[in-house]
Structure 1
């Protein structure tokens, strides 16, 4: 990696999701590389993945369904402003994408809403409500984001507004938020009050971040998954999100390729995922300025999903998740959690463990879990995706997966243990 200078059913379901026929007009940028000096995840970096005991998750052959009537997938905890896990009346709160099981496993994406889950011990979870008025929420459906509770007990829920209500389930994506407060009652559980307005915070600009109109290839473009981050040294606040490199010139540069043998397969240039960042311009966290991306993966991977940063002393760890099928032609990477290390938020990120791979599913069950998120103290949550049970039968998941315990040291990582399903602790 250098700094730039100038599941068979799973695949079928996801392929149905990724092909879009709806396009919106946006300004066109002339260059695929909008900002110089953006760290790159190169094809050379992503060419030598090896599954080991240190990076392979234990097998999942059964699970306890946290919400039997709902599909549950991308999950994130309520955090304090500094990123630590928050509690309300002594209870942890998690947010997750959900959809009724009246919809198919593949169709759940078109009906996603965000629900709450709460637990006193961080292990035994009860499902709460959708904490916002679905009629007032932005987007035809709401995709993943993050949640922060401020010093006035106001919860800021950042989410992806996917599509628009009057257009059906298109693949347009915008970063959005709403606010509310929550109280816990022993009889009624969590109650939501003082709901705020829903607001768009950022849209793809076509320069740093690709718009839907600029997209090439068969996989949907990305402008989603806002993750709130407060800089521990400056106090400045940001949203970190998944994007694609903006512009219409999809030519790969030397830094995107690295030292690899042979020609680059046709179509690799269409895979241009990046990790975006936007800076808060006001205390209300309603105005954000798009900044050059933290990392780009042009020619390597189309989707660097749910990116987030964990800071540990002088080490900054940028994590993202990606599917096997979103790697560019000529590359083979597992469904997994990938990480990059730098010594500052805007540092020269290098792939952890040499390639970037931090957690992979086992080879015999390559799609068993997905959507890993690394929390303080090295806890890694995810959801049960598609797996083979103890009888060898293929099953859909849709619930909390066992939490992994991850050790981080300098630019390396190691899986050190397994906790309960969805288990988190402050």
Structure 2
């Protein structure tokens, strides 16, 4: 018997059958199909496992690599100081920051000043997380030029709105955004974070919150915070059908009831997020885009999600092979819980909730956390950016030291969002967290009449060094053209600079 001839005939029959069944190219084997396999996008855009794995091949490309910074030039923010309860001076860490922006995302000018809001606190107290306001004269670029107006809110401001069901429980103030309104007012959006105390039935609920910040000028060189008004909660996730609530994440079905669960019953691997409200306007309507997790009507979480091909991308073969690996992976349990999302709601002119809307983009099975969404319109397209950490991901080949700014583009505000640079990579950094120049929370600020954006971030991990505090990182330029971005060569700016040219 001619075994070579028989083998060739078998190959022809197999290929012919494959073509008749609608295949193309040569046949390749894949892991077996499971009855639980399905493909459901829930009419949202996906950050897929395939794109994330392809992204690894782009590590080291200068177009996407955060620039190297000279450690010897890095300074603490001189004005980032406060007095403790005993009157002692405390040099603070300053991390997530965001500028006062116009409705289109460009930097706003307030009476000849530029303003940046940011999280700051005592390096010795991890729970000391509150919003401060920094400002400088337009045209100044040095980090020394930034003055500190102090905390935006007084200690008891959140207790003085008795009709609000969430403010009174606030423990910390987390990231957000700020807009300079058409009426000439400063409107702040931020995250009210409740304490995590199981015995008291508190699960760290995060609520999107707003207030008008009143400013005064006692002299020609000073801005002061003159109190807040119209202070209120906007949105905390509703009934968990669109966005996962803290109560749903941690097993408390009725958010109106105090829990009797013990700490041993809480799955602390479930990283619940509902924060970082970013304000935008489109056609006269107001919106908040924010970090969240998918709710029960949009894929949610659990083992079933591991069988959804939409979360994998590419081909059926990739889906079957990657699924088989994931089901045997030590990251399987985290992947089941991973349901990170970028959410959106429409708000009224008085900054109250108008409409809940489906997520703009989801990261089910990939990560539970895609942070600080930042979105703006450029050349008729919407650009969406989000920070992400490898330590929160479930992708083999991405490790704990990988830091990303991911980016997506769409022809309309609600999508479909496609990954920039083919995979979604915009910025990548792989530094030891103990490096003084380690940086995170990258924030792209559009510039008027320019294809460049200014990228800000913070530098140096909280509490890692005695002398080096978390501080404004040197800013740098990034270019955007259509579906591509690139770091601008020799585009490093001063620490905290928010305009390409001052």
Fold similarity call, TM over 0.5: yes
- Distance of 1:396 and 1:256 partners within structure 2: 41
Q: Give a deviation string over 1:63-118, Cα, whole Å, max 9, x none.
A: 11112611100000011233221122201000000102342xxx1xx221100011
1:379 aligns with 2:445: no
Give the conservation status (yes or no) of the 8 Å contact 2:345–2:355: yes
For the pair 1:145 / 2:156, whether they are aligned, the reply is no
Specify which of 234, 237, 244 is matched with residue 201 of structure 1. Answer: 234
For the structure 1 residues 399 and 169, does the alpha-carbon distance in structure 2 shift closer, same or farther, using more than 3 Å as the test? Answer: farther
Following superposition of structure 1 onto structure 2, how do residues 225-236 of structure 1 map, counting pairs within 5 Å?
A: 225-231=276-282, 234-236=283-285
For 1:26-425, what aligned pairs fall within 5 Å after superposition? Answer: 36-48=42-54, 49=56, 50-51=58-59, 52-60=61-69, 61-62=71-72, 63-66=74-77, 67=80, 69-103=91-125, 107=126, 110-120=127-137, 121-123=139-141, 124-137=145-158, 138=167, 139-163=170-194, 170-186=203-219, 189-193=222-226, 195-205=228-238, 206-215=240-249, 218-231=269-282, 234-247=283-296, 249-250=301-302, 251-252=304-305, 253-259=308-314, 260=318, 261-262=321-322, 263=324, 264=326, 265=329, 266-267=332-333, 268-280=335-347, 282-328=348-394, 330=396, 332=398, 334-363=402-431, 368-377=438-447, 378-386=453-461, 397-416=469-488, 417-425=491-499
RMSD: 2.7
Does the residue aligned with 2:46 lie in a helix, a strand or coil?
Answer: coil
* CA contact 1:202–1:290 (8 Å) conserved in 2: no
Q: SS at the partner of 2:367? A: coil
For the 8 Å contact 2:53–2:395, the answer to whether it is kept is: no
CA-to-aligned-CA distance 1:20-41 (integer Å, 9 cap, x gap): xxxxxxxxxxxxx998210101
Structure 2: stretches of 5+ with no match in the other structure: 1-38, 82-90, 159-166, 250-266, 448-452
Provide the rounded CA distance (Å) in 1 between the counterparts of 2:111 and 2:403.
Answer: 37
Alignment partners' CA distance in 2, 1:35 and 1:196: 41
**Does the 8 Å contact 1:43/1:331 carry over to 2?**
no
Matched position secondary structure for 2:116: strand
Inter-partner Cα distance in structure 2 for 1:375 and 1:230: 16
Q: Is the 8 A contact 1:40 1:255 kept in 2?
A: yes
The structure-2 alpha-carbon separation of the partners of 1:159 and 1:58, relative to structure 1 and needing over 3 Å to count, comes to same
Distance in 1 (alpha carbons) for counterparts of 2:154 and 2:43: 43
**Is this contact kept in 2: 1:35–1:208, CA < 8 A?**
no
Q: Which SS does the other structure have where 2:269 is aligned?
A: coil
Cα offset for 1:397? Answer: 4.1
Q: Secondary structure at the match of 2:352?
A: coil
CA contact (8 A) 2:301 2:339 kept: no
Gaps of 5+ in 1: 1-32
Mapped to 1, the partners of 2:393 and 2:468 lie a distance apart of: 23
Higher relative contact order (CA 8 A, sep 6+): 1
Are 1:294 and 1:346, in contact at CA under 8 Å, matched by a contact in 2? yes
Give per-residue Cα distances to partners, 1:48-69, cap 9 Å, x unaligned: 2222111111223241111261
1: CA distance between counterparts of 2:338 and 2:467?
30
Alignment-derived partner of residue 21 in structure 1: none
Alpha-carbon shift at residue 360 of structure 1 (Å): 1.5
Aligned-pair CA distance for 1:186: 3.2
Give the Cα separation in 1 of the matches to 2:40 and 2:286: 23
From the CA coordinates, give the structure whose radius of gyration is larger: 2
Spell out, residue by residue over 1:232-251, the C-alpha distance to the aligned partner (whole angstroms, 9 max, x if none): xx121100000001126522
Q: In 2, Cα distance between the equivalents of 1:41 and 1:277?
A: 17
Q: Distance in 1 between matches of 2:180 and 2:155?
A: 21
Tell me the CA shift for residue 362 of structure 1.
Answer: 4.3
1:328-376 CA-partner distances (Å, limit 9, x unpaired): 2536162121101111111211111122111122456788100011111
Is contact 2:187–2:211 with CA below 8 Å preserved after alignment? yes
- Deviation, 1:47, is 0.6
Name 1:24's counterpart in structure 2: none
Structure number with the higher helix fraction is 2
